[in-house]
Amino acid sequence: MEPRYKPGDRVLVLQRNQPGHVRTPMYVRGKTGVIERIVGAFPNPELLAYGHSGMPYKTLYRVNFRQDELWSDYDGPSDDTLEIEIYEHWLSPA
């Protein structure tokens, strides 16, 4: 499958509520970051968690966030960043 984003693209993590096993932590939902790399395509863990095959594959990205974008009271250096892996279906263009 063709990845929708490429390194350098700005993305917004969806602010979505969902039950079950979800690997997108609350603290990045609704935040804007930059694609750092494409990690690969993997079975969807949200479906694997219910015993399904996890198909179709979902592209996983490493996404880079500014710490002061994630935490309103962040008092470290302004160029501190955090990288986290997010599946494509949790991202939209920013």
Partner 1 sequence: MRGPQDYGGLPAGPVDPVTHEHVPTHWEKTVDALMMLLFDQRRQLARVDESRRMQEALGEDYHKYPYYERWLQAITWLMLEKGVFTQEELDRKQAEVRPRLEAERDGA
DSSP string, the chain: ---S--TT-EEEE------S---S-GGGTT-EEEEEEEEEEE--HHHHTTTS--PSPEEEEEEEEEHHHH-TT--S-TT-EEEEEEEGGGEEE-
Candidate list 8, 17, 75, 79; residue touching partner 1; CB under 8 A = 17
Quote the radius of gyration of the chain (alpha carbons, Å). 14
User: Is 22 among the residues that bind partner 1 (CB under 8 A)?
Assistant: yes
Candidate list 6, 7, 10, 18; residue touching partner 1; CB under 8 A = 18
Q: Which of residues 30-69 bind partner 1 (CB under 8 A)?
A: 45, 48-51, 54
Q: Which of residues 69-88 bind partner 1 (CB under 8 A)?
A: 70-71
Residue 14 beta carbon to partner 1: minimum distance, rounded to whole angstroms: 13
Binding site for partner 1 (CB under 8 A): 17-22, 25-27, 45, 48-51, 54, 70-71
